[in-house]
Amino acid sequence: MESSPKAVRQQRPLSPDEEMVHPKLKRWKGIRWKRLQIVLSIRKGGSKKESSREVSELMERLRITLRPERLPRDKRKCCFCHEEGDGATDGPARLLNIDVDLWVHLNCALWSTEVYETQGGALINVEVALRRGLRTLCAYCQKTGATNSCNRLRCPNVYHFACAIRARCMFFKDKTMLCTQHKLKGPSEDELSTFAVLRRVYIERDEVKQIASILQRGDRIHLFRVGGLIFHAVGQLLPSQMANFHSATAIFPVGYEATRIYWSTRVPNKRCRYRCRISEDEGHPLFEVRVLEHGMEDLHYRDASPDGIWDRIVQQVAKLRSDSSMLKLFTENLKGEEMFGLTIHAVMRITESLPGVENCQNYQFRYGRHPLMELPLMINPTGCARSEPKVSTQCKRPHTLNSTSVSKAYQSTFTGELNTPYSKQFVHSKSSQYRRLKTEWKNNVYLARSRIQGLGLYAAKDLEKHTMVIEYIGTVIRNEVANRREKIYESQNRGIYMFRINNEQVIDATLTGGPARYVNHSCAPNCVAEVVTFDKEDKIIIISSRRIPKGEELTYDYQFDFEDDQHKIPCHCGAWNCRKWMN
Ligand SMILES: [Zn+2]
Ligand SMILES: [Zn+2]
Ligand SMILES: [Zn+2]
Ligand SMILES: [Zn+2]
């Protein structure tokens, strides 16, 4: 009906009073009153799209309307039209994610000629369109990324979706477009009146792979977001916690953190951020939600179950809505675990592959256990370079950097290029090997569940003895800085990855590190960590100390200093000569 070009006729009799206003005509003389019939014609459809755009343009020009507060600049860019941030609903529309850091506007993708939508709302061929767009210039703005082709056979005109609107091309309900030269002269019943896509539309992608790559980067810049949920940290579970930290439908890793965007309990019709966390309270999970709302004090909720928190929040939202006579929310089926994000497919894939989840006896596995899933699962929450204790009682505090007693083994390797035990046997000079390593390390290793602990690094191909496998990358800092940072990281519950180079310097890989930090300790290692000097800079290189067949986990001896009984870290390397303790 909305897009029907037929005129809608409305008839309305005028009241006698209104008639009096009209000047009397001579031939009506003697007639006291006459009922006039006025016919109003209102054209519906077609023009509606134009007018709403015109109104917003007018508002923009006059600057007299109240505008919502400025949000921080949204730097996500559309790969098709190169414009930043979500577009207007009746224009390019919201941004959809296609890969880490890659976004496309829904309509920029949907209106690409080769893209189609499945029954379930998946957009197919977006990648094909992106490839074509790389080489295709827009007929309107002359920039690349144009993928919306004119439907007339052999017409060369291709536009960005938004440029096609600006150029006043004609859009049809069957998702075709005719350019300015070929568009129909008059209106058509098949012309589309709005571009708003209110149904669920998404682009198929490998979520688990994507999350893994985000977590592997370890830069904490990338988050992943599923609908109204932003995911921050996986957390982990110790074997002793398994029994209490799950329900039949979800696993509750300690340190799990996610932000839910949901209706405010204080401002009607506004959304705010609910920061959800799981921590431990005397052997039981403690669920916490912190409400972050602009210009208002943070609210805190704590409960022994996620439902306990979210039932309260939802009730408050419902009350606020009924008080301000707004539409009722459908909240009957809202579950706390869902609001925490614990039942999201990608999250469950991760929680179900946490080490030791087999012991969650009442939990119903949805995706099964992945014995060797390529995911960084254990990000040591209590700190210390790769030395998370497996059982909490065995270690009261993490191993800390000891600035007075430097590991002798590391010191001995800190002698530069000449005296290292392996230099003689290198076929190439070390610096040329190092240069090659810079580009080729990715072919040497892959990250996967470790047989020893958490994640480990594995040989991706057969590695000959004395091969430079990977560099231990991080920021070089002084001892004092390292000690300070360690305290900060500890208070943030981060896994700490530091590597001592010498008496004064430490490499901090906690925030900026590469995958080398995932190499586990073993008492019978197949690699050594060697400090090598290139261009007057000290680099730590993991070098194979024997031939390593493809698929074997890489290890080196951490050679921690000995500590007293209280601070012992158990070793789980499983080697025949295992010393049972790492320090
Ligand atoms: Zn776009
Ligand atoms: Zn354009
Ligand atoms: Zn054309
Ligand atoms: Zn061992």
Phi-psi region at 142: left, alpha or beta (left = phi > 0; alpha = psi -120 to 50): left
Which ligand is nearest to the Cα of residue 137, counting in written order? 2
86 vs 358, which has greater pLDDT? 86
Ion ligand 3 nearby residues (CB, 5 A): 150, 152, 155, 157, 179, 182
Q: What is the mean pLDDT of the chain?
A: 76
Which ligand is nearest to the Cα of residue 160, counting in written order? 2
pLDDT confidence bin for 93, thresholds 50/70/90? very high
CA of 214 to the centre of ligand 1 (A): 24
CA of 6 to the centre of ligand 2 (A): 33
Residues in the chain: 583
pLDDT of residue 371: 37
> Which one-letter DSSP state was computed for residue 565?
G
At 547-569, the pLDDT tens digits run 999 989 999 988 777 766 666 67
> Which one-letter DSSP state was computed for residue 410?
H
Which ligand is nearest to the Cα of residue 143, counting in written order? 2
Decide: helix, strand or coil at residue 468. strand
525 vs 367, which has greater pLDDT? 525
pLDDT of residue 360: 75
Cα–Cα distance, 212 to 456 (Å, whole number): 14
Which ligand is nearest to the Cα of residue 141, counting in written order? 2
- H/E element, 541: strand 537-544
CA of 80 to the centre of ligand 1 (A): 5
Which ligand is nearest to the Cα of residue 524, counting in written order? 4
Highest averaged pLDDT of the listed ranges 368-372, 423-427, 455-459: 455-459
- Between 13-27, 123-137, 157-171, the lowest mean confidence (pLDDT) is in 13-27
CA of 149 to the centre of ligand 2 (A): 12
Beta-carbon contacts of residue 261 (< 8 Å; ≥ 6 apart): 228, 229, 230, 271, 272, 273, 274
**What domains appear along the chain, each with residue ranges and CATH number?**
95-202 (3.30.40.10), 207-359 (3.30.160.360), 392-567 (2.170.270.10)
pLDDT confidence bin for 17, thresholds 50/70/90? very low
Q: What is the ipTM of this complex?
A: 0.71
pLDDT of residue 405: 29
CA of 105 to the centre of ligand 1 (A): 4
Which ligand is nearest to the Cα of residue 130, counting in written order? 1
Beta-carbon contacts of residue 455 (< 8 Å; ≥ 6 apart): 375, 376, 377, 378, 447, 448, 449, 518
Ion ligand 4 nearby residues (CB, 5 A): 523, 571, 573, 578
Ion ligand 2 nearby residues (CB, 5 A): 138, 140-141, 160, 163
Beta-carbon contacts of residue 305 (< 8 Å; ≥ 6 apart): 287, 336
pLDDT of residue 583: 72
pLDDT of residue 485: 87
Q: Is the pLDDT of residue 219 over 70?
A: no
Which ligand is nearest to the Cα of residue 179, counting in written order? 3
CA of 227 to the centre of ligand 1 (A): 19
CA of 181 to the centre of ligand 3 (A): 6
CA of 129 to the centre of ligand 2 (A): 15
At 249-291, the pLDDT tens digits run 899 988 888 899 998 999 888 889 999 999 988 889 999 999 9
What are the CA-CA distances from residue 560 to residues 173, 525, 556, 582 (Å)? Answer: 68, 14, 12, 6
CA of 379 to the centre of ligand 3 (A): 55
CA of 183 to the centre of ligand 3 (A): 7
